[in-house]
Amino acid sequence: MLVRAPSHRLLLNLIRHCLSISASRSRPPPILTTKLNMSTTSKPTFTLNDGTSVPWLAFGTGTALYGKDAAESVKQAIETGITHLDGAQMYNNEETLAAGIKASGKPRSELYIVTKLKPPQPGQTVKGLLQESLKKLGTDYVDLFLIHTPRPANQEGKLKEQWKAMEEVHEEGLAKSIGVSNFRVEDLQVVLDGAKIVPAVNQIELHPYVWKAAEPIVALGKKHGIVPASYGGLTPIVRVPGGPVDSVVETVRSRLEKTRGASVSAGQVLTKWILHKGAFVVTTTSKASRIKEFQDVEDLPDLTTEEVKGIDEAGAELHKRVYMGKVFED
């Protein structure tokens, strides 16, 4: 009996362990359920480490709209239900982003506005540059202020000092949340060492063709409660069509379409994959129909763990980093 009792417990534990593995195989990765707050009464949001909430879908003004008048596109996006707007000082269009907001008639309090710090030139300060942005954006605070790139500050040994200045503008209420963009593990480590405030967000290029390289960045972020934001998410369709991810995404798309009983696009599958990685989504489009397509992802069934893994593995066959190559040399 003395011998059998523990082995019986061992057997029970083994059965429990196997059951939990097989259950987890058919469930989505837990990161999705812990990060994305779904509710029947409000739009899904992500909760940041400072307690604020971010609408999961952002309309970007940086690629197709870089240096252009963003007003019409921003107005259209807001009228189609977008509340999260992603801008940057380097996009040279913050005034027109503000014009689009004004034309939409949407109150400031119902919007989530992001801008990003350009690398300061000699004589420029983080606070001064943010104040210029606030003036252009026609607001007295941004919801999220990101360091756009760790370079050249990190090479020049100025990244800690720059983060301290970010902490100060947060403390002054000019930025409700502060974070970073295009930060690799070594950049995050510099900021985390001695930071009073841990960055809330790291906005990075995130799609299956960079997942292998991005995974350690996302993992370190997760350890510290830094939420990843994805840009370039449609790269497998838009910039690298015909790659190894296509057939896997097509199989998932077709499965979801049958499950849902309504059409599902490859872009929606890739967007859902990003959410399964625990990231919120920064995209852009000139078309209202495409915004609706993104919003519909909220109603898509989850991918299975095997489907997420299948996309990861196909993505790992081809490394394609489209943006900020110099920042992400690897």
Ligand X SMILES: NC(=O)C1=CN([C@@H]2O[C@H](COP(=O)(O)OP(=O)(O)OC[C@H]3O[C@@H](n4cnc5c(N)ncnc54)[C@H](OP(=O)(O)O)[C@@H]3O)[C@@H](O)[C@H]2O)C=CC1
- Beta-bridged to residue 283, according to DSSP, are 59
- Residue 177 or 181: which CB sits closer to ligand X? 181
The only residue of 90, 195, 238, 266 in contact with ligand LYFO2JCZ, by rule CB under 6 A: 90
- Residue 238 or 316: which CB sits closer to ligand X? 238
- The number of residues that bind ligand LYFO2JCZ (CB under 6 A) is 7
Nearest distance in Å: CB 207, ligand X:
7
The only residue of 77, 88, 220, 226 in contact with ligand LYFO2JCZ, by rule CB under 6 A: 88
Structure tokens at 26: 């058919």
Phi then psi dihedrals of residue 40, to 5 deg: -80, -15
Which residue's beta carbon is nearest to the bound ligand X? 60
- Residue 24 or 286: which CB sits closer to ligand X? 286
Nearest distance in Å: CB 64, ligand X:
4
Binding residues for substrate, by number, are 148
Interatomic CA distance for residues 206 and 281, integer angstroms? 9
Residue 20 carries which side chain, given as an amino acid letter? S
- Residue 240 or 316: which CB sits closer to ligand X? 240
Contact of residue 287 among ligand X, ligand LYFO2JCZ, none (CB under 5-8 Å per partner type): ligand X
Helix (H) or strand (E) holding 180: strand 175-181
Nearest distance in Å: CB 92, ligand LYFO2JCZ:
8
- The number of residues that bind ligand X (CB under 6 A) is 26
- List the x/- string, 167-206, binding to ligand X by CB under 6 A: --------------xx--------------------x---
C-alpha torsion sign, points 141, 146, 148, 153: positive
Interatomic CA distance for residues 59 and 80, integer angstroms? 11
Nearest distance in Å: CB 253, ligand LYFO2JCZ:
28
Q: Is 105 left (phi over 0), alpha (psi -120 to 50) or beta?
A: left
Structure tokens at 151: 């370079």
List the beta strands (DSSP E) in the chain. Answer: 36-37, 45-47, 53-55, 57-60, 84-86, 112-117, 142-147, 175-181, 201-205, 227-231, 280-283
Let me know: does 42 contact 265? Beta carbons within 8 Å. Answer: no
With H, G, I as helix, E, B as strand and everything else as coil, classify residue 259.
helix
Structure tokens at 152: 């050249």
- Which residues of this chain interact with ligand X, rule CB under 6 A? 60-64, 86, 181-182, 203, 231-235, 237-238, 267, 282-287, 290, 323-324
